[in-house]
Copies of this chain bind each other. A is one copy, B any other.
């Protein structure tokens, strides 16, 4: 029983969260272990102890993110629902995930292209998994095109679209001055789904209809 009560999380978890927050804010390479340790309220040496180095924190973050994503795909694909609904559900769930664990997701996504030599292998494996999930998803909802060239365009496009909000980060709030509340993320999830399925024209049409019927 290392703690009087479990109000405060375990050191390992605190390191992970501190790391994620800092990586998300400043980028992996720009963050120092001391900074992480300080924010986590642990001794620097503990980072090597728990994660055997700074890179270990990033690895853990990415792995956890992919476990979550895998969970979402598995759950939705297990149900046999209409293509359009399935895609919307996936988008909604992914957005939900990002809402709940924004910084974890942001780190996992944005730090993936980072080419630390030791990460190449690890990330290739992780990427293969992700793409495979999407492929399964698109197949199921009959939107899969059996053409490598198209897939190499559509898959990154879809991912970028869904994650666009998080790729742009704190800019969005600063530039458009919107409040990022529950309603906003519902709107986001819906709008992205529409854009992904029917594009800008579809979105405009929908908005006009709403305007008329109002």
- B167/A207 in contact, CB under 8 A: no
Contact digits for A131-164, partner B, Cβ 8 Å, 1 yes 0 no: 1000000000001010011111110111111011
Contacts A29-B29, A160-B163 known; A192 to B113 CB distance under 8 Å?
no
- Say if the beta carbon of A178 comes within 8 Å of chain B: yes
| A contacts with B: majority SS | helix
* Cα distance A25–B188 in the bound complex, in angstroms: 31
Contacts A127-B175, A175-B131, A198-B199 known; A161 to B165 CB distance under 8 Å?
no
- A160/B167 in contact, CB under 8 A: yes
Tell me the chain A residues, 153-188 only, with Cβ under 8 Å from chain B: 153-154, 156-161, 163-165, 167-172, 174-178, 184, 187-188
- A153/B165 in contact, CB under 8 A: yes
- Say if the beta carbon of A27 comes within 8 Å of chain B: yes
Tell me the chain A residues, 111-126 only, with Cβ under 8 Å from chain B: 112-116, 124
Query: What B residues does A197 contact at CB under 8 A?
Result: 199-201
* Cα distance A176–B191 in the bound complex, in angstroms: 29
- B177/A148 in contact, CB under 8 A: yes
Q: Give chain B nearest CB distance to A44 CB in angstroms.
A: 12
* Cα distance A158–B134 in the bound complex, in angstroms: 20
Q: Give chain B nearest CB distance to A75 CB in angstroms.
A: 21
- B167/A167 in contact, CB under 8 A: yes
Query: What B residues does A170 contact at CB under 8 A?
Result: 115
- A176/B148 in contact, CB under 8 A: yes
User: Which of A143, A154, A171 counts the most chain B CB atoms within 10 A?
Assistant: A171
- A196/B200 in contact, CB under 8 A: yes
* Cα distance A207–B207 in the bound complex, in angstroms: 27
Interface of A with B (CB < 8 Å)?
A: 25-30, 87, 110, 112-116, 124, 127-128, 131, 143, 145, 148-154, 156-161, 163-165, 167-172, 174-178, 184, 187-188, 191-192, 194-204, 207
Task: Please give me the 3 A-B residue pairs with the lowest Cβ-Cβ distance, nearest first.
Answer: A29-B29, A199-B199, A152-B176
